[in-house]
């Protein structure tokens, strides 16, 4: 086929906002840390993103049941700490500098997967 019109800038890698990309990095580490215990019951919502000399990401991990919250946090907060540390390293590599701060909380949000407003806020339109 002949070349068509360019819909995105030449250097564009993804057609989603930075918040989506960063939430996916956190979600990737969430899946790695919890293995197959929570495959589809979790989501990451970016509450705040500040960019400057330091990139600061404040995000909430949504789960559907209180028992899932305990899995994500882990004994002595070990699991959530590992997720935060791994996500921070992944984001540092992506943005190209080492001044990244990631803050995570876990919230129970029942039936988030069937709530259109929540899905829109997570960029799952």
Residue with tokens 């789960």: 63
Name which of 115, 103, 108 is nearest 42 in CA terms. 108
- Taking only the tens of pLDDT, the chain with its 125 residues reads 888 888 888 877 778 888 999 999 999 999 999 887 776 788 999 999 999 889 999 999 999 999 899 999 999 999 999 999 999 999 999 988 879 999 999 999 998 888 888 888 887 76
Predicted TM-score of the model (pTM): 0.85
DSSP, collapsed to helix, strand or coil, labels residue 12 as coil
């Amino acid at each position: 086929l002949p070349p068509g019109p360019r819909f995105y800038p030449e250097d564009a890698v993804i057609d989603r906002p930075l918040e989506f990309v960063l939430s996916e990095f956190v979600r990737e580490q969430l899946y790695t840390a919890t293995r197959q215990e929570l495959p589809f019951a979790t989501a990451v919502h970016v509450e705040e993103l500040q960019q400057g000399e330091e990139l600061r990401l404040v995000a909430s991990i949504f789960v559907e049941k209180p028992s899932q919250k305990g899995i994500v946090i882990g004994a002595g907060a070990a699991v959530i700490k590992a997720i935060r540390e791994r996500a921070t390293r992944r984001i540092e590599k992506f943005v190209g500098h080492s001044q990244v701060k990631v803050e995570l909380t876990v919230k129970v949000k029942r039936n988030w997967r069937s709530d259109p407003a929540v899905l829109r806020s997570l960029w799952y339109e």
